[in-house]
Amino acid sequence: MTDREPLLDPVLDPAAMRKQYRAEGLTEQDLATHPMDQFARWFEDAARAALHGTLYEPNAMVVSTADAEGRPSSRTVLMKRFDTEGFVFYTNYDSRKGRDLTANPRVSLLFPWHPLARQVIVAGPVRRTGREETTAYFRSRPHGSQLGAWASAQSSVIASRAELDAAYAELAARYPEGEQVPVPPHWGGFRITPETVEFWQGRENRLHDRLRYTARPDGTWGVDRLSP
């Protein structure tokens, strides 16, 4: 007799799970001069894959933050804008990530486009979007999502689902469909300004391509190849 755990079903054993990537590679010559232009190319590929049902929510990204004591946390949010200045998402400023970013305004983003054997990893400082930009986006949300921003005290402990549903029902009665919902003062956007952007392309035998842009003080970008 031994103390070894019983063998797992191979279907359920993480150590037995294998995926051999055979995608085309990524070379330095393939890259755009600016990382946000390269991101736009890959995002278009991801969005087209989503249209064909092979990828779910191409704008989903993992946001990793750390609090004032350096304790990390991660969650998936939806990126709602990108341009030459970076990436924007919206949240409750009193949520855990909101509090983290107030205390420690730096973030890591990960776009996990697994069906394409691609990842994009971004790191940089964040700042809040202006209220005008926040209001414009809030007005574009479905009515129910606007009410949800008021009903949820994000990341706080609640007694039950019924409590949340009751809060939403009260707001729905106060602001019926067609009536303008005010923008919550505790809700808004964060804009991430990239300092590094890594494009990861899965390759055969785990010899992946990893090309990382790094911002230079003069506003240009350097590119390094990282070992997989």
- 14 three-state secondary structure: helix
Whole-angstrom Cα distance, residue 163 to residue 168?
Answer: 9
Measure CA 228 to chain center.
23
Catalytic-labelled residue, pool 206, 210, 212, 216: 206
Q: Which two tokens stand for residue 162?
A: 């019924």
Report whether 131 contacts 93 (CB < 8 A): no
15, 52, 168, 212, 221 from 205: Cα distances, Å? 16, 28, 51, 21, 30
Q: In which element (H, E) is residue 90 found? A: strand 86-92
Q: What angle do CA 79, 83, 85 make, to 5 degrees?
A: 105
Provide the sign of the torsion angle of the four alpha carbons 150, 156, 159, 162, taken in this order. Answer: positive
Say whether 106 is catalytic: no
Catalytic residue numbers read: 206
